[in-house]
Each structure stands twice: as structure tokens, then as C-alpha cells.
Amino acid sequence: MSSIWVLGAGQLGAMLKQAANPLGLDVRPVDIETDETLPLKVDDIVTAEREDWPETAATKQLSAHPNFVNLETFPQLADRLTQKQWIDKLELATAPWFPVEDDSTAEKAYQTLGDRVLMKRRRGGYDGKGQYWLKQSEGTEIPDDWKGLAIAEQAINFDEEVSVVGVRGKNGEKYFYPLTLNLHINGILYASISPLQRLEHLQGQAESMLGKLMDALDYVGVMAMECFRCGEELLINELAPRVHNSGHWTQAGASVNQFENHIRAVAGLPLAPAEVKNQSMMVNLIGVDVDYDWLAIKGLELYWYRKDVRPGRKVGHLNACSGDLEQLQSIIKSLSNMPAPYDEALGWLSKNLP
């Protein structure tokens, strides 16, 4: 039987493997630093848990395989410059931007984008790393080592941050999960809630935006679109051609979770609309130790990634899904001994749950 290889062996690869297990599918996450010769067979399938990778012995073997799904798309979305160009080409709303070139100046940035401009490294940024604020009031200049390597974006005064996760099959059929409301603190995702009735009227807008992108790229698998909600309009913040942290709630809250959907799509298996079970919420574990007392909390599900704990590092997440909103509020209370900024994240969850 053919195997599905995953470029990358982090938590996303592990959760893809976990989701494929009940289907009897052999999913093999690959550590990109391994120098083993991989026993790739010609009818195997290759996918990735990350959009960008260095050239290593392992990534060279995997990217030489003829069944590497979306291979051409990854570099186009991994570079923020070409990602933004795709969004513009399809006339989808996004934060106004320009490429930071050798001759770009902060003055031009302030003239064209306003007095607060966010520079983002073209490649490799995540969890808000790779960002640099230009502020006219502070006379910030563009450092030389950002020239040619970044884009500059207008600061968006958004109402809130939402995302949508969709899946597209080889035949072009598409399904979407309901919009997810996300809280980022210092550029890093802390908590998510989905579904929310108050976002339902934006669902069609989100699906048509992400659907247009997936179709244009002839994309197969799960893709996530992070947006800023500005009134009734969604502006695309960024795209992730992979399973996404803001879709982790689907492990508890949907009949088919995002990981299984991605595997189904790349393996060419049938897709179906996921049944959304109840109210879900997710809390990321960032720079905190595992606490197995969490298991005593009714309705709480723990995913621990077995990574070394470091400040600001994502090391796990907690999911809960229930039709009993009081139970969700009581779970939030049970977590109140977590360190700052969890007071903010838990308060946000408590306030934004219906």
C-alpha cells in the first residue's frame, strides 16, 4: 500500500499521522534534518506540514517525488511578496503594501501607507517573528538588512481577527469550516472560538475569497486564510498552504477534523462536509509546562507536543467542545492559575463565547 510522506516532523505532522490512523493510512512525517535514504515508492504521496524548507538530503528526496502535492504552490505562498501578488491579482482585499527594495525609504512608506507601517520578512516569519514596526512619530528608518527581504504593510485598525480553513479535492470540490475568531497577543495565537453565530453573515465572503485562491492555484488539501475583520469587510492578512493552528478546534468540534480532511484530499479519497458538533474553543500552550491536572477538568482535551518549553514557544494546545456553555465557562475558570498573559486570553474567551 502506498504511504503518505509529510515534509516536516513537528506537531502538525504528528497530528496528520494521528488523524489518518483510523482510516488505515500510513502517514510518515520526515524530520528534514535526517540523512537517511527514504524508502519512497513511486505511487507514494508527499505533502508538507510547513510552507518553506531549506534544501537538505531529506527535502531533496521528497521534492524529487512526482506525487508531491502542491509542490509548485509552496514557494509562491511561502514568499510574502508573491503571496501578496496572488491576492492582488485575484482582486481580493488585503492590507495595502509594497515590496521593501534596496532604495525604499521610511519616508516613502509613511507617505504611501500612513504613519504606522509593519515590515514583514518575506520568508520564514511565524508567530509574529520577522516583524518590524516603522513609526513616523519615532522617526524609525528601514534597517539595511530588511531591504530586498521584506514587504511593508499598512497598520490595520481591525475590529478583530478571524480565519477560515478550507479543503479542496483533486476534482475541485471545496468544503469550509465555519469562521474562527482568533486572539493574537504579541503576534502569536493564544485562543480561538468557533463557530460564532455573529460571524455567520461573513462566511460566504470568506469562502468565496479562499475558494478563489485555492481554485486559481489548483490547490489540493487544506489551506487557511487569516483575516482582519474591519466592519463588514474581511481583509486577508496571510495564507497558510497547510493545516493551521486556528483549525485545531476541529479535532474536538467537527466530525472530520482539518488533519483528516487534508489527508483525504491529498490521498484522493472522498471529501464530505464536516458536521460541526457544538461550541468549540482552543487555548494554545505557549511557554508553559504541561499540567496533567488539566485531565481532571471535565470536557477538556490536551494535546502536548513533547517539545522543550521555552518562553514564547508553542508546546501544546487545549480543546473543548460542548453544547453546554456553562461548562465551557467553568473550564475557563479552572485554568485561571495559568501565568500571564493567560488572564487576558481566558478573559477574552469568556467574553466572546456566546
> Which residues in this chain contact ligand ATP in the complex, by CB under 6 A?
95, 118, 120, 125-130, 153-156, 161, 184, 187, 226, 237-238
The amino acid that residue 217 corresponds to is L
Instruction: Give the shortest CB-225-to-ligand ATP separation in angstroms.
Output: 11
- Closer residue to ligand ATP in complex, CB, 192/322: 192
Please report, in angstroms and rounded to a whole number, the separation of the first and last CA atoms in the chain.
46
- Closer residue to ligand ATP in complex, CB, 71/155: 155
DSSP secondary structure letters along 77-135: HHSHHHHHHHHHHTT--B--EEEE-TT--HHHHHHHH-SEEEEEESSS--TTTTEEEEE
- Closer residue to Mg ion in complex, CB, 49/226: 226
Asked if the peptide bond before residue 54 counts as cis, ω within 30 degrees of 0, the response is no
Instruction: Give the shortest CB-77-to-Mg ion separation in angstroms.
Output: 10
Instruction: Give the shortest CB-125-to-Mg ion separation in angstroms.
Output: 6
- Closer residue to Mg ion in complex, CB, 237/319: 237
CA-nearest of 235, 233, 173, 260 to 225 is 235
- Closer residue to ligand ATP in complex, CB, 130/178: 130
Joined together, the cell numbers standing for residue 281 give 474553543
Joined together, the cell numbers standing for residue 280 give 468549540
242 binds, among Mg ion, ligand ATP, none (CB under 5 to 8 A by kind): none
Element (H, E) at 222: strand 221-230
187 binds, among Mg ion, ligand ATP, none (CB under 5 to 8 A by kind): ligand ATP
For the chain, the C-alpha Rg in angstroms (whole number) is 20
- Closer residue to ligand ATP in complex, CB, 54/66: 54
320 binds, among Mg ion, ligand ATP, none (CB under 5 to 8 A by kind): none
155 binds, among Mg ion, ligand ATP, none (CB under 5 to 8 A by kind): ligand ATP
Joined together, the cell numbers standing for residue 70 give 502542491
10 binds, among ligand ATP, Mg ion, none (CB under 5 to 8 A by kind): none
- Closer residue to Mg ion in complex, CB, 61/83: 83
- Build a one-symbol-per-residue string for 190-229: x at contacts with Mg ion by CB under 5 A, - elsewhere: ------------------------------------x---
Joined together, the cell numbers standing for residue 174 give 471545496
Asked if the peptide bond before residue 195 counts as cis, ω within 30 degrees of 0, the response is yes
Rounded Cα–Cα distance for residues 231 and 58 (Å): 46
- Closer residue to ligand ATP in complex, CB, 199/300: 199
Instruction: Give the shortest CB-287-to-ligand ATP separation in angstroms.
Output: 15
Enumerate the β-bridge partners of residue 5.
28, 46
Rounded Cα–Cα distance for residues 91 and 89 (Å): 5
- Which stretch, 29-37, 80-88, 131-139, 236-244, contacts Mg ion (CB under 5 A)? 236-244
Instruction: Give the shortest CB-190-to-Mg ion separation in angstroms.
Output: 13
> Do you know the residue count of the chain?
354
120 binds, among ligand ATP, Mg ion, none (CB under 5 to 8 A by kind): ligand ATP
333 binds, among Mg ion, ligand ATP, none (CB under 5 to 8 A by kind): none
Rounded Cα–Cα distance for residues 50 and 349 (Å): 28
> Helix 258-266 to helix 11-20 angle, to the nearest 10 degrees?
70
Size of the site for Mg ion (CB under 5 A): 2
Enumerate the β-bridge partners of residue 76.
none
Phi, psi (5° rounding) for residue 171? -90, 5
Element (H, E) at 237: strand 233-240
CA-nearest of 320, 311, 306 to 11 is 306
Instruction: Give the shortest CB-238-to-Mg ion separation in angstroms.
Output: 5
127 binds, among ligand ATP, Mg ion, none (CB under 5 to 8 A by kind): ligand ATP
Instruction: Give the shortest CB-177-to-Mg ion separation in angstroms.
Output: 17
- Closer residue to Mg ion in complex, CB, 238/260: 238
Binding residues vs Mg ion (CB under 5 A)? 226, 238
